[in-house]
Structure 1
């Protein structure tokens, strides 16, 4: 797992620039994306569509693959997990600023680990936990209409409220109907930015793996919908297709049960993060250096193990606000190989085939395709 050094305007375009660039183009023709000055831009986020997986299945996704070149691959943020990446896209800020720094994260005030996708719904996360204003709010302030379309059952979720603040939510059951809703909004005219969320590919990958026939079939269906949508674009309209993360398949034989390695979990008070990027919160944070060395010795080359300070210095979460720092594990364990780390005493999540969270090229590189 490489160091991720945040930069200024000279840094490569990343996921945090996509919706921000769309809005800037609509407002005044600015931003970091070469879009000109369109009236309307639709940003389509396909959950789990890694650039490498798309290239490997290019014959099954001719519309998407035809737009995929060396300059149309960008890096998502760290960790490569949906809650963090969607928030980065929607706010234009890194996880170290917006505070959604993993799939499950320690709330220091309550001393408990909370799921970042569902924890907003049961009162488990305080108001203001997602710390950054959204680009949808900024759009409304600029007189630009902002909408988001996704599955109907996400319309009332706490995560939607926290991450899509300012956007009109247009719920639709199928991928086709979401695009219909987006183009109906475009047909009303005026300056507009839209966001369309497609979770189906990721769901199939978790269940059966991205290398499965089911995943390829889902990709073929998506490609057909994108091709039809591209044909509906009128002058002054653009469509961007990107993803929150890529994915790789982890065989059951490469699951590592950390509870079976003597002494590894003894100093751990809370285990957070995801199987490919564990975040360890210790009984005594002062032991972080010694614990990190113990995990390095036990796991060897299959993991990049760093203390919180080392990970922050390496830029894993971008610039980290002091208020966010306690949410990050005292020690972080990122998978380098096709491994996933579990506490076998719980068994949670061990049925997943396709996985993500760490910083391999399969997970971090995603397409940015312009139509």
Structure 2
């Protein structure tokens, strides 16, 4: 079940490097640009985009089969967006899932919303320099255009530090602000974040009218003229699949014997065992229980297989589960003993290794257009 793509396949980890090389007129991938804009459409998989091309004509007009990249593992926002915005793999930046273990305090921490409540220090929990810090170090202006509610979050400080944050409400307003900053500041690196497709997918599913409407809004926002000399790359952190209720595998107390914490998310669980649990017995039981539903790997198997990248720090390793449960097809696996079961109402999901989750678009606009 390990990823089968070629080691030479393009990864979202390399997108920032391509942009910096373009600014220096040294890229083998992109033509030179006076300023660059990186647009991330959260949750937009390349397969879903192509399947709805009629609703995204501006984005797909010049899109070819080559205009894709592979997301990281797990294919979830905390891990993948951080890889885009640092240029390193999850095993290095340490955000290895949606909810991960803080081993020093023996608690699970939400990597998107738990920074303040759990007292995480963004500078130490995510130590890799961001692309904005790299830009500033090279005497280049750096901006991040996003939703006002995210401006002061711990996740923002972990991933956007070094950038001047600019808030705007709608996708059209965010794109206009990003293009304006790139035009006004030659040599700038500008980031523009569009989360609307991801939100619609989680709540209503990729097959829904609401998801299509969100995609149409994004496509309209990105159909405007790009200022002269500005290169734009449009990509995503991950795609998603729709999980029907009949594909929910719910684990009860008997399945969870020997388990201390269940982290991650339903498409990719981090399972942490009790100190006295016999790991081999738990692995065997979970593989039998979830046969045909999910692949169950040990931490060592996942790291040796390169799932978290070529280098895994000690901190990152401590956050990876003793077992990893990667859902197959359109399955999702839930802890039925957890007090909060609201997540079972989520339709669009991600985190796994399917092409729908991991293959994302990389679309060129403006000075990058072919």
| Partner Cα distance (1:109, 1:198) in 2 | 35
1:97 aligns with 2:88: no
Q: Does 1:232 pair with 2:223?
A: no
Equivalents in 2 of 1:144, 1:224: separation in Å?
29
Matching residue of 2:239: 246
Who is 1:216 aligned against? 212
Q: Give the 3-state SS of the residue equivalent to 2:190 in structure 1.
A: strand
Cα RMSD (Å): 1.6
2:268 counterpart residue number = 277
Task: Tell me the residue number matched to 2:18.
Answer: 21
Q: Which aligned runs of 4 or more in structure 1 are off by greater than 4 angstroms?
A: 4-7
Match of 2:65 among 70, 80, 100: 70
Structure 1 stretch 162-171 or stretch 178-187: which is displaced more? 178-187
Structure 2 unaligned regions, length at least 5: 366-370
Q: How does 1:105-254 map to 2 (within 5 A)?
A: 105-126=100-121, 127-228=123-224, 231-234=225-228, 236-254=229-247
Alpha-carbon distance in structure 2 between the residues aligned to 1:225 and 1:244: 19
- SS of 1:166's equivalent? coil
1:248 Cα deviation after fit: 0.6
Query: Which residues of 2 match residues 314-325 of structure 1 at below 5 A?
Result: 314-318=305-309, 319-325=311-317
Matched with 1:289 is 280
1:293 positional shift:
1.7
Provide the C-alpha distance between the structure 2 equivalents of 1:221 and 1:118, rounded to a whole number of angstroms: 26
- Answer with 59-68 or 71-80: which moved more: 59-68
Tell me by how many angstroms 1:285 deviates: 7.5
| Shift in CA distance, 58/130, structure 1 to aligned 2, threshold 3 Å | same
Q: Measure, in 1, the Cα distance between the counterparts of 2:35 and 2:276.
A: 49
Distance 1:178 1:63 in 2: 17
CA distance in 2, matches of 1:6, 1:211: 30
| Whole-angstrom distance in 2 between the partners of 1:78 and 1:202 | 18
Conserved 8 A contact 2:35-2:183: no
Distance 1:88 1:327 in 2: 16
Q: Displacement of 1:369 after TM fit?
A: 0.4
Structure 2 residue matching 1:256: 3-state secondary structure? strand
Instruction: Tell me the distance in 2 between the aligned counterparts of 1:125 and 1:4.
Output: 35
Alpha carbons of structure 1 residues 288 and 65: separation in structure 2 relative to 1, 3 Å: farther
- Report the alpha carbon displacement of residue 69 of structure 1 after superposing the two structures with TM: 1.7
In 2, Cα distance between equivalents of 1:206 and 1:349: 10
The reply to whether residue 329 of structure 1 matches residue 321 of structure 2 is yes
Total equivalences in the alignment: 361
1:271-324 per-residue CA deviation (whole Å, 9 max, x = no partner) reads: 100000011000037733332221111111221110000010111111211231
Q: Secondary structure at the match of 2:314?
A: coil
Equivalent residue for 1:342? 334
Native 8 Å contact 1:114 1:124 kept in 2: no
